[in-house]
Amino acid sequence: MVHLLFSLAARPQRVRPGSVGGCGGVADRAAVAKIQNGCDFGKRFVPIILVAIAHLPSFAAAQTSSLTESVNVLDANSSVVATLSVPRSGIQSSEVAVLINDNDPQSVEVGSYYQRVRNLPNRNMIHLSFEQDKIFPGLPANNGIDPAEFAALKRQVDAQAGPEIQAFVISWSKPFRIARFNYYPTNYSITSAFAFGIDMQYLTSRSCDSTPLNPYYDSRSTMPYTDFRIRPAMMLAGESAASVKATIDKGLKADRSLPRGNGWFVRTADNARSMPRYPDFQATVQNWNRPEALRMTYYDRSRPGGPSEVKNARDILFYQTGLANVSGLNTNTYVPGALADSLTSGGGDLFGSNQMSALRWLEAGVAASYGTVTEPCAYADKFPAASVLVKNYFLGNTALEAYTKSVRQPSQGVFIGDPLARPFGTQATLVNEVLSIKTSILEPGVDYNLYSAPSTTGPFSLISTISVPDYRFTTITLPGMKAPFYKLERGGESAPRSDRRN
C-alpha cells in the first residue's frame, strides 16, 4: 500500500512512490504478429501462426477518459458524510438493458429479480416473446435459435435500446447459441451475437478456423457502445431461477469490496487444453503476486498422474485451468466476485455436453464464467487471457467488461454470470477529520490530482498529487479534512509507458 499523509495547511505535495513500471501490452492500432498454439482436442499439437491487423477507434479513450463516477464517503457508522468523484472505471447499472423472454417463466422471474436488486428503471427492461425450445419440422431437437429468428429479435432489441445503453443482460438460459433451423450449431453464442452481430462469413465456417477479432479487446473504454458501437452481453444462466438468484446475490456482495483473494492459474497434465494459456498464466502470476497487489499462484501439474485440480482452497478470486471436467469445485470457497473458467471445447454447451458445463463454476460460488458453444480447437485467442482479465477487473471493470475484453476471438464463447459484479474500484471514509481513500483504479505512470470543495460546483482546491509505479492497491490518508466534496482526477502522464493503450 501507499500511505500519503498531508497537513491541511501544507502546500499540496507530489507523491511518486518507487519507479515507473507496469505490465506489457500491445498498441491498439498496431499490426500484431503472434504465434498461437492450436490443435483439435485429442489430436497432435500443431503450432499455427496467425497474423492479424487490429484497427481500433482512436477516439475511444478520448471520449471516455474524462468521465467520472461518484463514491460515497462514509463515517464510522457507515453514514454518508461526503462525496468523492473519481475517474470512471466501469459500466454503471443504469446503462444496462435486461432482455426478458415473456414466454419463459424463469426469464421473467430472473429479470424481475435483477431489476429489483440492481435498482434498474423500467425503461431498461426489454420484453421479447419467442419460443425457446422450438423444434424445426423434421428435426429431432432444439439446439439454439435460428439465425433468421435471432435477427428479428436483435432488430427489436436494438430499436428499444437507447444510446445510453452500453451492455445487455440476458435473463434466459436457453437459447445460449445460434443454430440453423434451431438444430445445427453455428460459430456464434447468443452473447456474442447480441454484442457483435453475426458475420455470415463466419457463421458456418470451419469451427477451428479463426473467427472475427474483438475490437473491444483490452481497451480502456468503459462505454463500449459509445466508443465501439457494440454492447457486450452476459447471460444470467442457471438450472433454475433459484440458482441464478444465488449467483446474483454473490455478485451484489462483491461491489467495491476490494478483495485480496487468491488467484489460481493451473497448467494440467492435459497438454492440449493447458499449453495454449500456461505462458500467460506464468506471466500474470509474476506480475501480480505482490504484497501490494494480489495473491497469485501458478500451479504446475503438467506431469501425468498427479492431481490437476485445486481442492480445499479458500478465498479463490481467479481460477483458470485447462480440463474437460474439473472436480473438487465445491471443496473450495470463493470470494464474492470470483471469476473462473476452463479451456475446453464444450464448456459453453450449458445443458448438453459430456464435458463440464460452465454453469458448474457458478453453482460452486463463482460470479461469472465463460465457455465455448462449438468446437473451437485449442486456440488461446478463443479463451480468456489471464493477463487481460486480471488487469481490467482490478482497474474497476465489471465482470462483463473484464471478461469480454479478455477474449480476442469471442464469437464461439458464451459469457455467463452476474454482469455487474464489480469487486474492485474505490472506497472512502471520513472519520475524525481524516479522509482515507483506498483504490485499485490508478494506472502506473499517470499523475492523479485530488481536490476538495465546499460544494459540487467548487471552488476546488488541490490537496494532493499521487502516482503509482505499478498496478496496486493504494491508500491515500489526509488529516484535517472537513469538506463535503472531493474529486480525484487524472492529470498528466508522469513518465512514458511503452504499454499504454489509447
- In tens, the pLDDT along 47-58 reads 222 222 233 333
Q: How confident is the model at residue 354 (pLDDT cuts 50, 70, 90)?
A: confident
The mean pLDDT of 225-241, rounded to a whole number, is 98
The mean pLDDT of 348-368, rounded to a whole number, is 95
For residue range 159-179, list pLDDT tens digits in order: 999 999 999 999 999 999 999
Q: How confident is the model at residue 352 (pLDDT cuts 50, 70, 90)?
A: confident
Residue 261: the pLDDT is 87
C-beta separation of 218 from 388 below 8 A: yes
C-beta separation of 294 from 286 below 8 A: no
Residue 454 to residue 485: CA distance in whole angstroms: 6
471-494 burial: b if 16+ Cβ within 10 Å, else e: bbbbebbbeebebebbbbbbeeeb
C-beta separation of 129 from 103 below 8 A: yes
Residue where the block lists cell 472531493: 486
For residue 403, count other CB atoms closer than 10 A to its CB.
29
Residue 6: the pLDDT is 28
C-beta separation of 278 from 144 below 8 A: no
Residue 50: the pLDDT is 27
Question: What's the sign of the alpha-carbon dihedral 392, 490, 120, 74?
Answer: positive
The mean pLDDT of 90-106, rounded to a whole number, is 98
For residue range 112-133, list pLDDT tens digits in order: 999 999 999 999 999 999 999 9
For residue range 409-452, list pLDDT tens digits in order: 999 999 999 999 999 999 999 999 999 999 999 999 999 999 99
Residue 24: the pLDDT is 31
SS3 label, residue 143: coil
**On the CB side of 490, how many CA atoms lie within 13 Å of its CA?**
19
Strand 167-170 with 177-180, pairing: unpaired
Residue 48: the pLDDT is 26
For residue 26, count other CB atoms closer than 10 A to its CB.
13
Residue 312: the pLDDT is 96
Average pLDDT, the chain: 87
- Percent of the chain with pLDDT strictly greater than 90: 81
Residue 308: the pLDDT is 85
Residue 3 has pLDDT above 50, yes or no: no
The mean pLDDT of 183-191, rounded to a whole number, is 96
